[in-house]
């Protein structure tokens, strides 16, 4: 009885401490949202308090100034193009690389996954020139296509490791029934890859949606092609930052991610864990 009581009170103390840590931990995010509703003077005078008279002026100004709706669609377009290509080309490659073990596939396997070792900064200078030659720079679609090349090594690696766990008898029986290789892939294999596809999508959406350096190099020159993260960057200067607009713009960029996370927390966390363990 006494033991149980002691355990109970220990748990309460633990949760109390944890609550304190969690609140302090998340406070900076809260601070960003809160300051989006303050005029500049109040942000500078009292950056940490609740807004005296919350105003939507910063938000409406930023929405108009950066054309939020358009940039949001830019983000969606780039992310959707990027993800679609990565998932399709990586899963197709992984399917063949696992099922047909020949000298050719062994070589191609190494060829496709080795670039995981190349840090982006090693190639960024010359990438700019290469993309200029094939006209994939200064374009949202072009940027989406570039993500294919950067996402395929890791995605193929994850798909390949999962393909190994799918019994060969499954596609062999489809073959005997007369299904072609493509038919087998579309109606038998790809549905079985569902869980690992979710992993790839979660990892790559988080990466592409929030990416900064590649969009900075490729689509920053025109307001038409910018992404949300790039737009937030314009309000923060070296000397004088318009914090009221910066905060509003950052909040508007982060909000969609947080809303999606709240609804899909389970899948996102599972995807991230699976990706790290397999990747």
Partner 1 sequence: MTNSSRRKRKEQLENVLYTLPAIILVTVMMYIPFLMSGYYSLTQWNGIAKDPQFIGLANFISIFSGKSNFLNSLGFTVRYTIGFVIFSNVLALALAVALVKKFKLANVYRGMFFIPYIMSMTIVGFIWKFIFTQGFAKLYELVGAEALNWSWLGDPKLAFYSVISVGVWQGLGFYIVLYIAGLQAIPKDVLEAATVDGATASQKFFRVTLPLLGPSMTTCIFMSLTNGLKVFDIILALTKGGPGTATYSTTMQIYQEAFTNNNYGLGSAQAIIYFLVVLIITQVVLKVMSRKEVDL
Is 220 a binding residue for partner 1 by CB under 8 A? The answer is: no
Q: Which of 117, 135, 176, 222 binds partner 1 (CB under 8 A)?
A: 117
Measured CA to CA, the distance from residue 197 to residue 220 in angstroms comes to 31
Q: What angle do CA 210, 215, 217 make, to 5 degrees?
A: 145
- What are the helix (H) ranges across 36-67? 40-45, 57-65
Q: Is 28 in the site for partner 1 (CB under 8 A)?
A: yes
Residue length of the chain = 279
Shortest distance, position 149 Cβ to partner 1, whole Å: 2
| Dihedral in degrees, nearest 10, Cα atoms 29, 35, 40, 44 | -70
CA distance 145 to 86: 9
Site residues for partner 1, window 149-188 (CB under 8 A)? 149-150, 152-153, 156, 181
- Residue from 26, 80, 106, 186 touching partner 1 (CB under 8 A): that is 26
Stretch that binds partner 1, among 63-71, 102-110, 162-170, 191-199 (CB under 8 A): 102-110
- Figure out which of the listed residues 1, 5, 25, 239 binds partner 1, where binding follows CB under 8 A: 25
Q: How far apart are CA 83 and CA 54, in angstroms?
A: 38
The residue within the footprint of partner 1, chosen from 20, 21, 76, 186 (CB under 8 A), is 21
Q: Quick check: 36 binds partner 1 (CB under 8 A)?
A: no
Pick the binder of partner 1 from 108, 166, 179, 188 (CB under 8 A).
Answer: 108
Residues 185-204 that bind partner 1 (CB under 8 A): none
CA distance 149 to 111: 12
């Amino acid at each position: 009885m006494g033991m149980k009581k002691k355990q109970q009170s220990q748990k309460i103390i633990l949760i109390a401490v944890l609550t304190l840590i969690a609140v302090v931990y998340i406070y900076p995010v809260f601070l960003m949202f809160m300051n989006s509703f303050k005029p500049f003077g109040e942000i500078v005078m009292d950056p940490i308090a609740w807004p005296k008279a919350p105003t939507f002026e910063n938000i409406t100004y930023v929405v108009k100034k950066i054309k939020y709706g358009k940039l949001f669609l830019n983000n969606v377009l780039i992310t959707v193009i990027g993800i679609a290509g990565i998932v399709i080309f990586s899963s197709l490659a992984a399917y063949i690389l696992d099922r047909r073990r020949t000298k050719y596939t062994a070589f191609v396997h190494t060829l496709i996954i080795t670039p995981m070792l190349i840090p982006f900064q090693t190639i960024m200078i010359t990438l700019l020139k290469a993309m200029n030659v094939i006209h994939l720079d200064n374009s949202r679609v072009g940027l989406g296509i570039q993500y294919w090349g950067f996402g395929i090594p890791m995605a193929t690696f994850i798909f390949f490791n999962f393909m190994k766990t799918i019994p060969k008898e499954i596609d062999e029986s489809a073959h005997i029934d007369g299904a072609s290789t493509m038919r087998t892939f579309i109606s038998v294999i790809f549905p079985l890859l569902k869980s690992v596809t979710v992993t790839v999508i979660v990892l790559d959406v988080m990466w592409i949606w929030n990416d900064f350096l590649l969009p900075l190099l490729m689509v920053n020159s025109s307001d038409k092609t910018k992404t949300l993260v790039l737009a937030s960057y314009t309000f923060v200067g070296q000397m004088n930052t318009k914090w009221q607009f910066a905060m509003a713009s950052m909040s508007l960029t982060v909000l969609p991610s947080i809303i999606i996370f709240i609804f899909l927390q389970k899948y996102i966390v599972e995807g991230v864990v699976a990706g790290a363990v397999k990747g």
